[in-house]
Chains A and B, each alone.
Chain A
Amino acid sequence: EDKVVQSPLSLVVHEGDTVTLNCSYEVTNFRSLLWYKQEKKAPTFLFMLTSSGIEKKSGRLSSILDKKELFSILNITATQTGDSAVYLCAVTGANSKLTFGKGITLSVRP
């Protein structure tokens, strides 16, 4: 059974801090790893990673995948209160089935 473990489960930081969110996985026939941000409604897509070692970057957010060690990190620099959300990691395996972790709750305090 595919498995995704995220850590820490929750995190409180102050504006301007840098945070690193972790995701490790076990999946049959790995195809991709995705990061989503979820506020009070639907998860919104952040990144999809398919190749090891390649960094995806969008503004203050970046992510990298290590397929050998089966993990990914999501980095947020210069955090803002608007970054407060649940960050979900998911992996795609056989038949495009997407398996999610439990999420990391990030709270950014002013």
Chain B
Amino acid sequence: EAEVAQSPRYKITEKSQAVAFWCDPISGHATLYWYRQILGQGPELLVQFQDESVVDDSQLPKDRFSAERLKGVDSTLKIQPAELGDSAMYLCASSLDQPGTYNSPLHFGNGTRLTVT
């Protein structure tokens, strides 16, 4: 079964450093999502792409976070500078649907666990 690929699996960084995460969605999935999950909480949406365009980034802390999906396939999420409170699991997900025509579930990657020291 096709999977959403994410790397790295784990990342430890010092505060004020830059960090980047990569995601390759399931082939043919036009919609890509980045979620952040703090321990004990449900995932929270950071940014949603439809192909290469951002559909929703209202919860993305834009002073330090950026995301891109230049060719509408794989995506990168960057944090600069990292803060202690950014320690969390960063999950990428993809789905077949376009916004407004939601018919299929999100499929998640295994995530990147970030620890900021």
Contacts and interface: CB of A to CB of B under 8 A. Distances in A.
B83 interface: no
Q: Is the interface of B mostly helix, strand, loop or mixed?
A: loop
Contacts, number: 59
A48 B105 contact: yes
B108 interface: yes
Nearest to B92: A42
A95 B42 contact: no
Nearest to A93: B102
Contacts of A42: 4, 91, 108-111
A96 B31 contact: yes
A47 B95 CA distance: 15
B44 A100 contact: yes
Contacts of B42: 4, 88, 90, 100-103
Nearest to A41: B110
Contact of B100 (A41, A90, A96, A98): A96
Interface in A58-93: 88, 90, 92
B109 A97 contact: no
A12 B20 CA distance: 38
Contact of A100 (B43, B100, B105, B107): B43
Instruction: In the A-B complex, list the 6 residue pairs whose CB atoms are closest, starting with the nearest.
Output: A100-B42, A42-B108, A96-B102, A96-B99, A95-B99, A45-B105
